[in-house]
Chains A and B, each alone.
Chain A
Amino acid sequence: MSYQFDFSFLGERWPAFAEGAWLTIQITLVAIVLGFALGTACALTRVYAHPLVRRLVGGYVEVIRNTPLLVQIFIVYFGIASLGFKLSADVSALIALVVNLGAYTTEIMRAGIESIPKTQVEAADCLGLSRLQVIANIVLLPAIERVYPALTSQFVLMMLASSITSQISVEELTAIANVVQSETYRSFEVYVVVALVYLALSLIFRVGFWAVGTVLFFRRRRLGAAL
């Protein structure tokens, strides 16, 4: 069976793809910022807080990491609607993504925080710094630096996972692809194009993270070596 590839739809439909990609980027960025904040806070709790609180946070992490994102999105979207609250699809999706990324970030940051030698913390303590000061000045930034590759990988994965939000009609890139292919019947071409766009986005994000890394960890840039 011969199949004629036809990419002509791009000519007039490309703005739709651009808008979808833009929404994907926006959702991802917000999810990253909020998810990272949540994850770091939880990681600090996991390391420093009262044992009961630690267990609770641990429970949250395990539940999220052992259930599919799709189900989590459904629970947030349909669940909250069933309680009577009117939340837009975008906001529901964002909540689910933030909660999801928070759990993964917690584990990554926890590893980073625990990898800071106790002697560092002890020395800072001996200088009179309070617990909070020690965390802010001695622990956090080096911890982030140590786990930066794992962290940014997770962020890129989150960007790709945002495609799932198309299922609750968030009009991001995948949703746009579904619409266009249903109208043009060029399913193969449409999805190939969208795959390429995602690949490009992955690359852009990775480069972006690398750039942020050189700014944040300027010591590394100066010395040309890792911590």
Chain B
Amino acid sequence: MASLNRKRIRLGNHDLPFQLVLLAFGIVTFFPLVLVIITSFKSNTQFYHNFWLPELPLHFGNYSSALRIIWRYIVNSVLYSGSTICLIAMIASVAGYVFARFIFPFKTALFLGFITLIMVPGVLTLAPRFVLVRDLGLVNTPGALISVWVSGGLVLSTWLMRSYFESLPQELFDAAYVDGAAEWQVFIYVSVPLARPMIATVAMTTLISTWNDLIWPLVTITDKDKMPLAMGLMQFSSDFETDWGTLFAGYVISSIPLLCVFAVAMRQFISGLTSGSIKA
């Protein structure tokens, strides 16, 4: 974060007013979350009796009974999103590499076939895509989710990978060719390791969008055992509608997986997005 270390000309002599406004902002933002965490340790009587404050004894039982239901949704989501991310990373880096490094007939036309899809919104294709997936016999299988998530994610990912590979200096590749590397070796041993930051970005955006997708699972998955987390939470919230403690314990648990990812990858994610790489 080099940009943070340089001295800026600042307004006023103190941080205090800014800090206070930001603090107020932060409190309003996080207050509902804190209340959810507090309530997740309460029994229903405690909740109705004392709405705002934490109260002893803490009911850890809420967490075990919520976990019994939620774990399956989390495992499903990890499997679905994980396989989507792997497939997109592989397919998009190969496609991006081909588009970036070679000249061949119909290259422009093929690439336009990718990027014009950015303008096609998901709502336009929702209904016909459901019919298609149904006719392919994929309804209520993980295939319904993964196939559509992968093809949807490929559009932007291929573009990102292509521009990243194009930005790598030609000398790197020349060095590998001179050393006698075949094209696939150049790809695997030179290009992919260099593209790791961009692959991480692609993985992150794919994770966020698939993890939060509610509508597509809602129309294609009917089996409770196969629901991903977003849809499972809908189910969970109607199953435990008035059992507030368990309900909120489930809410807290369902935020933990992304919290772990956040802890590991956030530094990179923020610096990647704010380093000025995004220009309209």
Query: Do A and B form a real pair?
Result: no
Which residues of B does A touch, CB under 8 Å?
none
Which residues of A does B touch, CB under 8 Å?
none
